[in-house]
A = this chain, B = another copy of it.
Amino acid sequence: MSFSPLVERLMESLRVLPGVGPKTAQRMAMHLLERDREGGRRLVETLGVALEQVGYCRRCRTLTEEDVCSICTSVRRDDDLLCVVESPADQLAIEEAGGYRGRYFVLHGHLSPLDGIGPEDIGLDQLEARVAEGAVEEVVLATNPTVEGEATAHYIAAQLSSLDVRLSRLAYGVPMGGELEYVDGGTLSRAFNGRLPFRGE
C-alpha cells in the first residue's frame, strides 16, 4: 500500500523544502491534512502570492515585492556606506545584529566559475555602476568567510580599485568556514566595528 496518489504527491512536493526527507514530509502532510487544513490553506495562499510577487529590489537586489526596497528608499540610512552581502538572509543577520546604518548590495551567490557563475550573474556590473555614482565612500565586503566568499571579495576589490572608494572587510571575529546567516549578533557587531581596510593581497 501507499497513501492515495494525491497524498503521495503532496509528500513528494513537500520535499522541495530544505532538510525535509521522506519521513518528515509524511509527518507534515499528515499534520496538514489531519490537523491544520486552515493553516495549510493560508500557506498555499501566501506562498502562491509570494512566488508571484516577490522579486528583486531594482537598486540593491534584495528580495522585495516593491520596485525598490524599504532600506534603499529610507532617508535615515547613510548613503556613503555600502555593504555587499551574498544573500538576503545575510543582510537580515546584519540588520538584526544592529549598529549598521548604511545601504546594502545583495549578490545572490558568489563567484563560482566551475558552476558557470560569473561576475554578471552576481550583479557586479550593477555594483560597479552604483559605486561609480559617487555617493558611496566605503564598500564593506561582507561576503561569507569561506573560500568562495573570500575570492568574490578579492574580485570585487580588484574591480572597484580604480574608483575613489575605501574597501573594507568584516573583522575576523566571524568564525572561518562558517556562514554569516548563523553567526550570533554580538559577534557580528564586533566584526562590523573592527572592519579593516581591504588590501586585496
Residues of A within 8 A of B (CB): 1-7, 9-10, 12-14, 16-19, 24, 26-34, 36-37, 39-51, 53-54, 63-66, 69-71, 87-89, 91-92, 95-96, 108
By a CB distance below 8 angstroms, the chain B residues around A16 are: 32, 36, 39-40, 42-43
Q: Are A47 and B87 in touch, CB under 8 angstroms? A: no
Q: Are B17 and A28 in contact (CB under 8 A)?
A: yes
Given A1-B92, A13-B42, A89-B26, A63 contacting B33 (CB threshold 8 A): yes
Verify A34–B95 contact, CB threshold 8 A.
no
Residue of B nearest to A37 (CB): B51
- CB of B50 within 8 A of CB of A31, answer no
Asked whether, in the complex, the Cβ of B64 is within 8 Å of the Cβ of A30, the reply is: no
CB nearest to A48 among chain B residues? B44
- Least CB distance from A143 to B in Å reads 16
A5-B65, A40-B51, A44-B48 are known contacts; what are 4 more A-B pairs with Cβ within 8 Å?
Answer: A4-B63, A7-B64, A10-B47, A32-B47
